[in-house]
Chains A and B, each alone.
Chain A
Amino acid sequence: MNIAAADWQALWLTLKLAGLTTLLLFIIGVPLAWKLSQWQSRWRHGIEVLITLPLVLPPTVLGFYLLLLFSPNYAPGQWLSQLFDGPLVFSFTGLVFASVIYSLPFMVQPLLAAFNANGQRLTQAAAALGIPPWAALLKVLLPASRAAIVSACALTFAHTLGEFGVVLMIGGAIPGETQVVSIALYQHVEAMEYGAAHRLALMLMGITTVLLLAARWLGHRLAPRGSNNEQAKPVVGVLG
């Protein structure tokens, strides 16, 4: 397979973007899902729906609203530009920011399902033993939800790998900065370079397949043995 240098660069950039997004979403997603699972309020459903919205909006439309959000014509854009030390549009930072929003449901939903299944039970048991809530999360709940964590990370990573519409709107296809695989792939198709498109698509699908298979295998390996709780089953495939 002879893949052009620019395409390798795009592939590397995409892996970097997906990896970083997954890491950030894990850091954001765990406390968020945990808080939600502990929260007994009517508002909770509202927040859960809000988290699901990136699934509903067509990615190009999401990109369009991000474009408005980043715009220096309005206060949020000016503030973001100060916060991130430069405009977010046409930049890798901007892509990470967008991907975190775009893939949020893929991280939060599996975690929420796992925490809902046995979060209450485990945290109450931990509380009875005098373990504080945060320690209970780190020492009890997270280890018990290993399978779900693997699923959530795998889904988030794969979803971000294939991200297209959002990047199309805010990226600017700058090689090494914002030209990810999906964009390079589409450019090949549009320019009628079908051979290059097939090779790149094959690479992308190959990587994703290997990744998801590895995640499934890990999920099965990590499922706590001897406990017959429902949550241990990995949720890859439920969302994907």
Chain B
Amino acid sequence: MVRRLSLLLSALLVAIALPVNADNCTLRVAVAASFRPALEEVLPEFERRHACVVQISSGSSGVLYQQIAHRAPFDLFLSADRERPELLEKQGGALGSSRQTYALGLLALWHPKSESNIEQLLQTWPDKIVLADPKVAPFGSAARQALQSLDLWKKKQTQLARAHNAGQAYLMLDSGNAQLGFVAASQMQAAGRDNYWLLPQHLYKPIEQQLLIPTQSRRPKEAQSLADYLRSGEVQAQLQHLGYGVLPTQDRSRDGGSGL
């Protein structure tokens, strides 16, 4: 009985592990959880053009970085920051010079609906202020820089509640457990909310989101096509509607318009 069950189980596992069609093209993409919705928005068009199925694994950039550094079988890595792809490249985990910026995150401040003078509100806010953990989350460190630029970082120190990442910061605010906090503009756009203030971009260092092709990629060519597609004018225009910024020009100059 046990043997029969284990046979059945192994057969099932094998069936799951095998792609539906062995000679089909599947591209395995590791994407930061925050960018997943945007990626899913623009993928169908790419899949249509390239006859390649994209398999998404999403998680925190830190965890994905760990996995890829330990040779997890991904063809493309879309991080939510610049640091981790840089680190991977330094450690020899990147294919050639595949590291590029593909999106620019914008920092937003969620505020109560009826407010008008947001900057003043932030100055005088007596209650908790939520932000992603500045130590590990890109939107957290951007929020810290913005607060430092506004000369509020030290003043508000005791009021800061650190969520683990931008996603959790959003959850804190959305569930009503906090009324003021730093999130990503893309989250607000995705939820169709307008009660946010876009922080002036000079208050914080650009939140560059970078991608790279890991050395273990089995489909570097298709991965490069997807990278080019993400950086193409049409996708970038879509991303701006989804709450992302305009890519810095020096990054656009290396425009590999292949696959379009």
Number of interface residues, chain A, beta carbon within 8 A: 22
Q: Which of B3-11, B156-164, B211-219, B252-260 forms contacts with chain A? A: B156-164
Cβ-defined contact, B177 with A89, below 8 A:
yes
Cβ-defined contact, B162 with A174, below 8 A:
yes
Cβ-defined contact, B163 with A187, below 8 A:
no
Taking A64-B171, A168-B164, A174-B161 as contacts, is the C-beta distance between A71 and B177 under 8 angstroms?
yes
Cβ contacts under 8 Å, B160 to chain A: 174
Cβ-defined contact, A90 with B128, below 8 A:
yes
Cβ-defined contact, B177 with A72, below 8 A:
yes
Cβ-defined contact, A190 with B62, below 8 A:
yes
Cβ-defined contact, A172 with B62, below 8 A:
no
A174's nearest neighbour on chain B, judged by CB, is B161
The answer for the CA separation of A64 and B170 in the assembled complex, in Å, is 12
Number of interface residues, chain B, beta carbon within 8 A: 20
> In this assembly, does A36 line the interface, its C-beta being within 8 Å of a C-beta of chain B?
no
**Interface digits, A66-105 against B, CB 8 Å rule (1 contact, 0 not)?**
0110111110010000000001011000000000000000
Cβ-defined contact, B172 with A190, below 8 A:
no
Cβ-defined contact, B175 with A67, below 8 A:
yes
Q: Which of A74, A189, A192: most chain B Cβ within 10 A?
A: A192
> In this assembly, does A173 line the interface, its C-beta being within 8 Å of a C-beta of chain B?
yes
> In this assembly, does A191 line the interface, its C-beta being within 8 Å of a C-beta of chain B?
yes
A90's nearest neighbour on chain B, judged by CB, is B161
> In this assembly, does B60 line the interface, its C-beta being within 8 Å of a C-beta of chain A?
yes
The answer for the CA separation of A87 and B177 in the assembled complex, in Å, is 8
Cβ contacts under 8 Å, A90 to chain B: 128, 161, 177-178
Cβ contacts under 8 Å, A192 to chain B: 62, 87
B83's nearest neighbour on chain A, judged by CB, is A192
> In this assembly, does A169 line the interface, its C-beta being within 8 Å of a C-beta of chain B?
yes
> In this assembly, does B176 line the interface, its C-beta being within 8 Å of a C-beta of chain A?
yes
> In this assembly, does B135 line the interface, its C-beta being within 8 Å of a C-beta of chain A?
yes
Taking A90-B128, A190-B135, A190-B136 as contacts, is the C-beta distance between A67 and B164 under 8 angstroms?
no
> In this assembly, does B133 line the interface, its C-beta being within 8 Å of a C-beta of chain A?
yes
Whole-angstrom distance from the CB of A69 to the nearest CB of chain B?
Answer: 10
> In this assembly, does B232 line the interface, its C-beta being within 8 Å of a C-beta of chain A?
no
Whole-angstrom distance from the CB of A143 to the nearest CB of chain B?
Answer: 43
The answer for the CA separation of A191 and B176 in the assembled complex, in Å, is 29
Cβ contacts under 8 Å, B224 to chain A: none
Query: Which residues of B in the span 169-189 have a Cβ within 8 Å of any Cβ on A?
Result: 171-172, 175-178
Which A residues fall within an 8 A CB radius of B? 64, 67-68, 70-74, 77, 87, 89-90, 168-169, 172-174, 187, 189-192
Question: Would you mind naming 5 contact pairs between A and B with Cβ atoms under 8 Å apart?
Answer: A68-B175, A70-B177, A72-B177, A89-B172, A174-B162
